[in-house]
Amino acid sequence: MTEFPAAAHDAAVTDRDRLAGSAYRSDRDLAARQALYQWQTPRYDLPGMVAERLRGVRGRGRVVDVGCGNGKFIRRLRQDRPDLDLLGLDISPGILAGVPGPVAVAEAGRLPLATGSVDAALAMHMLYHVPDIPHAVRELSRVLSPDGLVIASTNSARDKAELHDLWRRAAGDVLGVGRGPARVPLSARFDLEQAPSLLGEEFGRVETIDLSGTVAVHDPGPVIAYLASYRAWADQYDVPFAATVERARAILDEHIARHGVFEVRCRAGIVVCRR
């Protein structure tokens, strides 16, 4: 009960039916996780940072967003860089329905692109969902032009520890034990500590940019929405999911009434790669 079992974790976070048919069937749960950062200090304009990193891609430079999700980065690039030739790829037809085209359903391990055909590739908070991460990194390298770059992002292994503690306390209360089972840690297979070495297998220059900050909420709503956004993995928790979310809400209500605020330390980053 202390940690989520490694084999079960890998199967749960890479299952294509679960990802395309539930977790990312629409952008409801992804948007809930993205929304939590509205309360982070300092605030990072991550799409703006990506656009700035792409300043060297000129003319009709081709950029592919692999695992583009709800199109957060594509929308910003269409606004800031209308000169770019953008393509969004994702395994979920449902989430792609709301993304401005062109888009296509595709796997990171089998990119439908010619060798050396893109000037930049984005892999934002998605490589931990890929069954074979080294192979996906090789695919990113294969489709990249000689002077191109890859921008990836992920969370640290120490990200949002307060939410993990909150969940285990709530789960323990529901089960009548001291501490309940751990949450499913999505980014554990490709966290910020591992990312530079995994990407460094294909890229000679790897730069990590820290995006640490603190989320401070005065109402349980954003945190509860974040916890509830993991509903696609509810069967993996060994505890009634909805009951645990509601118990977490009660704990937060009490904490905020006493302290005025609930704080979560966020640790994430982007990794910029060149050959």
CATH number of the structural domain spanning residue 198: 3.40.50.150
Per-residue pLDDT at 12 exceeds 60: yes
Per-residue pLDDT tens over the stretch 129-186? 999 999 999 999 999 999 999 999 999 999 999 999 999 999 999 999 989 999 888 9
CA distances to 10, 32, 65, 80, 215 from 219, rounded to whole Å, are 33, 15, 34, 34, 12
Cβ atoms of residues 119 and 63 within 8 Å = yes
Spatial strand order in the sheet of 268-274: 103-105, 85-90, 62-66, 118-124, 144-155, 268-274, 205-210
Cα torsion angle, 213, 217, 223, 225, sign:
negative
The 10 Å Cβ neighbour count of residue 143 is 20
How high is the pLDDT of residue 169? 98
Which residues does residue 215 pair with via DSSP β-bridges, in sequence order?
Answer: 40, 264
Question: Residue 146 and residue 149: Cα distance in Å, rounded?
Answer: 9
| Domain housing 60 | 6-157+186-213+267-274
96 in a structural domain? yes
Cβ atoms of residues 229 and 122 within 8 Å = no
147 in a structural domain? yes
Percent pLDDT > 70 in the chain is 98
How high is the pLDDT of residue 7? 73
How high is the pLDDT of residue 88? 98
Question: Quick one: 65 exposed, middle or buried, by C-beta within 10 A (0-12, 13-18, 19+)?
Answer: buried
How high is the pLDDT of residue 1? 35
139 in a structural domain? yes
Question: Quick one: 88 exposed, middle or buried, by C-beta within 10 A (0-12, 13-18, 19+)?
Answer: buried
- Total domain count, the chain: 1
Burial letters for 204-222: b for 16+ Cβ neighbours within 10 Å, e otherwise? eebeeeebbbebebeebeb
Tokens of residue 227, six digits: 């916890």
pTM summary value: 0.95
Cβ partners under 8 Å of residue 99, min gap 6: 68, 70, 71, 74, 88, 90
How high is the pLDDT of residue 8? 75
Q: For the residues 197-209, what does the mean pLDDT come to?
A: 98
How high is the pLDDT of residue 59? 84
Pair type for strands 118-124 and 62-66: parallel
Per DSSP, the three-state class of 97 is: coil
107 in a structural domain? yes
Percent pLDDT > 90 in the chain is 93
How high is the pLDDT of residue 3? 60
Question: Quick one: 251 exposed, middle or buried, by C-beta within 10 A (0-12, 13-18, 19+)?
Answer: middle
How high is the pLDDT of residue 5? 58
Per-residue pLDDT tens over the stretch 245-259? 999 999 999 999 999
Which residues does residue 153 pair with via DSSP β-bridges, in sequence order?
Answer: 124, 270
257 in a structural domain? no
Per-residue pLDDT tens over the stretch 19-75? 999 999 999 999 999 999 999 999 999 999 999 999 999 889 999 999 999 999 999
Per-residue pLDDT tens over the stretch 87-124? 999 999 999 999 999 999 999 999 999 999 999 999 99
256 in a structural domain? no
163 in a structural domain? no
225 in a structural domain? no
